[in-house]
Amino acid sequence: MRENRVLRQWRSGEATVGGWLAIGHPYTAELMGALGFDWLCVDLQHGQIGFDDLHSMLPAISATSAVPLVRVPWNTPDAIMKALDAGAYGVIVPMVNSAEEARAAVAAVRYPPDGIRSFGPIRAALYGGSGYAREANREMACIVMIETAEALAAIEDILAVPGIDAVYVGPSDLGLSRGRSPKGDDDDPAHLADVERILAACKRHGVAAGIHCGSLAFARRWLDAGFVMVTLGADSGFLARAATADLSALRS
């Protein structure tokens, strides 16, 4: 079966850089993949994308070397299984606040006897190749989001759940839940302390640490700190920044 390259990199401590897809179109997905990102995440939670878009976006990513991930709308078995069956090689599960919720996410990602995933890989077996049914449990990435005060308090219990491959920090929601503004790239010392606490816990438990970034400066900052799954930015953000800079320069 096709290897999940980013999982192998995380397990060996190598850093990876990803891109975020918020625009529901195969062209932007293929374009982002062609740029050389290690992985791309299709955002079904907040992006302008629905499940039907996966059927064109995931094949478009497959034309590139990027590993396809999907952030599912919520921690429900049907959403997780549907994304995996469409060909995602991992899911980012939002708002995981307890060990129980982490176990539910892991179970939905794995086939029995390790979990409860129902068998029907449809496109996934085509993308994954021969041996998908036998090897998928070790190649599909289960990535849980830590983005609330409740999850921060339960971080040790969450990370102790077998089968969690990575944690993905959601800075905006984490800030909101801690009484701060929903700022993604946040220099607030209290926020930085929260993020560093999560990173330290990941290192203790041997779980890959990931974080959402919206700028080159913060992506560099968190890579240097030891995160191995860093988002450089989103398709919509890259578009807006480049157009704003060129338009401003032209008008000036």
Give the residue numbers marked as catalytic: 46
Eight-state DSSP code of residue 134: H
Among candidate residues 198, 149, 141, the one with its CA nearest the CA of residue 169: 198
Q: What is the 3-state secondary structure (H, E, C) of 11-38?
A: HCCCCEEEEEECECCHHHHHHHHHCCCC
Up-side HSE of residue 152: CA atoms within 13 Å toward CB? 21
Dist. CA 21–CA 188, nearest whole Å: 27
> Both tokens of residue 13?
């401590």
